[in-house]
């Protein structure tokens, strides 16, 4: 189960809530794919404002982001190592009295070679950039006290992540921008693959394992959340939730389920031990180990369903360029494929359907669930009604329906199953003012090829699953 090895690195965007059972394959897939519609709308405004309209301008834009943030990356390395050799003395530093000793300390620091390469690409000498970022913090008494508290509180995480500081937030932002630019049509598939490889390889070069990468990710998020010394000392709920979530994530075998080329197979034991003093480890371990059978069965069914979806459906979806139609899901959606990840997982759990042993879920409509064995309808009866797959399906397609708030969907109706399906148009259509000005009939003609391909996809479901 290997997705795009570079987008696998975006899995960290999913670690925002405590997760007491293993991640299922659909959740992992969703966490490594295109941003949701709301994020795409923001990204499109951002890129348009900065006049990013093609491959060349996007590549230059990524370079400008990298260069702008480069100076502030290395400060954590200095303060963490200084705090270890001079305990509780950071808050007393001053440029007037300690500049010579600090310069000597920085010159003797061993810079991560890959971080050194990153600095040089930005046109900076690593040690000079480090001196500059350190001096800016020392000049601000409030920020210096914050750094002193931060290095004390999170010293175990910094033991793993101080080498690269908060550079990861910049690197993953570039991945997000490339992925979003492709989703809104700024770059084509070949250009997308090229930029994704450039951004992904830089991250893989900087870190050696999932443990290092997740520690660096957590450091970046704590840096953004804990804005004052008090917030570092008395962690806000969001920060504590993140720590708990990362601790529990260490129980997943990421080396197998999200393979990244070039990373070793080191487990996440070091990160888990680094987080142990910062969480209620006994309680979290107990919750994880006592996960009920029903939850684990659900995870296994979701993973089995995704593997079948990947094997049977995704080749057709990719061949006919329907990726954005099938995988995009938003708050208005009435159709969620298993690659919808978290949303699909939540809805499936609320249904409590009596799936048999070899039955796995594949897609959800407003009033039905598609599985490998047939269709569960919960529209007209108080109890769900199951129908085995017939030999053939007849599918009717309607014209686009505008449901306001920029949400447009294509309605389909499967006669044999008496099932309505509404497929949301991807953001690249709903953000197109020329498309929105067209009448529904004109819009239907504009997307005729995609509609026909989707109609064929639904009509061939029984054949796909044979």
Question: What tens digit of pLDDT does each residue of 94-111 get?
Answer: 877 788 888 888 888 887
The pLDDT, as a whole number, for residue 332 is 47
Structural domain span for residue 425: 295-464
Tokens representing 82 are 């200084």
Residue 191 lies in a domain: no
Contact 399, 422 (CB under 8 A): no
The percent of the chain in helix, strand and coil, each rounded to the nearest 5, is 60, 10, 30
Q: Cβ of 335: how many Cβ atoms within 10 Å?
A: 22
Burial (CB < 10 A; 0-12, 13-18, 19+), residue 378, is middle
Using CB atoms within 10 A of its CB, is residue 448 exposed (0-12), middle (13-18) or buried (19+)?
exposed
What is the structure's pLDDT at 72? 60
Please state the rounded mean pLDDT for residues 9-28. Answer: 86
For 377, phi then psi, to 5°, come to -105, 130
The domain boundary residue, chosen from 128, 161, 194: 161
Q: Which residues pair with 365 in a beta bridge?
A: 368
Q: Once rounded to an integer, what is the mean pLDDT over residues 416-427?
A: 86
Contact 351, 386 (CB under 8 A): no
Q: In sequence order, what are the beta bridge partners of 420?
A: 413
d(CA 285, CA 280): 9
Q: 13 in a domain, yes or no?
A: no
For residue 380, is pLDDT > 70? no
Distance from C-alpha of 84 to C-alpha of 148, rounded to nearest angstrom: 11
Mean of the pLDDT values across residues 195-217? 91
Q: Evaluate whether residue 319 is within a structural domain.
A: yes
Comparing 68 with 165, the larger pLDDT belongs to: 165
Asked whether residue 187 is domain-assigned, the answer is no
Please state, in angstroms and rounded to a whole number, the distance separating the CA atoms of residues 342 and 330: 11
> pTM for the whole thing?
0.84
Count of C-beta atoms within a 10 Å radius of residue 160: 21
C-alpha distance from residue 321 to each of 74, 80, 304, 315, 326 (Å): 42, 49, 24, 10, 10
pLDDT one-digit tens code per residue, 315-359: 898 888 887 788 655 444 578 888 877 778 888 888 888 888 899
**Number of structural domains the chain divides into:** 2
Is 282 contained in some domain? no
Q: What is the pLDDT of residue 331?
A: 46
Q: How confident is the model at residue 163 (pLDDT cuts 50, 70, 90)?
A: confident
Predicted pLDDT of residue 70 = 60
Quote the CA–CA distance of 171 and 63 in Å, as a whole number: 11
Which structure tokens are listed for 329?
A: 């899901």
Mean of the pLDDT values across residues 358-363? 93
* Residue at a domain's end among 161, 192, 221: 161
Could you read off the pLDDT of 344-356 as tens digits, one per residue? Answer: 888 888 888 888 8
Which residue blocks in 250-334 are alpha helix, DSSP H?
Answer: 254-257, 269-275, 281-289, 293-312, 314-319, 323-327
The pLDDT score that the predictor gives to residue 439 is: 87
- Categorize the per-residue pLDDT at 92 as very low, low, confident or very high, splitting at 50, 70 and 90: confident
391 lies in a domain? yes
Do residues 309 and 302 lie in contact, with contact meaning Cβ atoms separated by under 8 Å? Answer: no
Q: Residue 143 falls within a domain, yes or no?
A: yes
Residue 439 lies in a domain: yes
Give the β-pairing of 408-414 and 368-371.
Answer: unpaired
Q: Which of 136, 161, 186 is the last residue of a domain?
A: 161
Is residue 1 scored above 60 in pLDDT? Answer: no
Q: What percent of the chain has pLDDT over 70?
A: 93
Q: At residue 73, does pLDDT exceed 70?
A: no
- What does the pLDDT read at residue 133? 81
């Amino acid at each position: 189960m290997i997705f795009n090895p570079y987008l696998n690195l975006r899995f960290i965007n999913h670690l925002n809530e405590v997760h007491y059972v293993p991640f299922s394959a659909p959740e992992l897939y969703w966490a490594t794919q295109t941003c949701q519609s709301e994020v795409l709308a923001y990204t499109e405004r951002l890129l348009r404002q900065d006049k990013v309209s093609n491959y060349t301008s996007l590549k230059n834009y990524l370079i400008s982001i990298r260069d702008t943030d480069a100076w502030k990356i290395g400060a954590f390395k200095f303060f963490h190592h200084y705090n270890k050799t001079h305990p509780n003395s950071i808050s007393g530093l001053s440029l007037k009295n300690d500049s010579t000793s600090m310069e000597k300390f920085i010159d003797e620091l061993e810079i991560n070679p890959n971080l050194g390469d990153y600095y040089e690409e930005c046109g900076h000498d690593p040690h000079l950039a480090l001196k500059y970022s350190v001096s800016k913090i020392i000049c601000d008494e409030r920020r210096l006290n914050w750094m002193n508290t931060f290095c004390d509180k999170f010293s175990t995480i910094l033991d793993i992540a101080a080498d690269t500081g908060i550079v990861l937030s910049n690197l993953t932002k570039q991945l997000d921008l490339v992925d979003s630019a492709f989703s809104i049509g700024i770059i084509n598939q070949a250009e997308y693959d090229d930029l994704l490889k450039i951004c992904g390889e830089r991250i893989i070069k900087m870190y050696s394992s999932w443990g290092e990468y997740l520690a660096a990710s957590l450091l970046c998020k704590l840096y953004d959340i804990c804005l004052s010394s008090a917030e570092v000392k008395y962690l806000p709920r969001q920060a504590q939730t993140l720590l708990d979530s990362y601790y529990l994530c260490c129980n997943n075998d990421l080396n197998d389920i999200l393979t990244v080329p070039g990373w070793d197979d080191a487990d996440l034991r070091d990160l888990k031990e680094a987080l142990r003093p910062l969480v209620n480890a006994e309680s979290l371990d107990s919750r994880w180990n006592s996960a009920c059978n029903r939850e684990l069965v659900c995870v296994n069914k979701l993973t089995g369903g995704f593997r079948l979806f990947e094997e049977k459906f995704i080749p057709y979806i990719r061949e006919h360029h329907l990726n954005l139609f099938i995988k995009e899901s938003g708050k208005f959606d009435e159709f969620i494929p298993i690659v919808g990840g978290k949303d699909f997982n939540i809805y499936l759990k609320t249904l409590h359907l009596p799936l048999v042993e070899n039955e796995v879920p594949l897609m959800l409509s407003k009033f039905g669930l598609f599985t490998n064995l047939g269709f569960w309808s919960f529209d007209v009866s108080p109890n769900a009604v199951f129908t085995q797959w017939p030999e053939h399906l007849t599918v009717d397609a309607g014209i686009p329906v505008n449901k306001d708030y920029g949400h447009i969907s294509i309605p389909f109706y499967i006669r044999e199953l008496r099932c309505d399906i509404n497929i949301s148009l991807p953001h690249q259509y709903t953000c197109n003012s020329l498309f929105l000005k067209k009448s529904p009939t004109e819009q239907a003609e504009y997307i005729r090829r995609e509609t026909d391909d989707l109609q064929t996809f639904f009509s061939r479901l029984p054949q796909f699953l044979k």
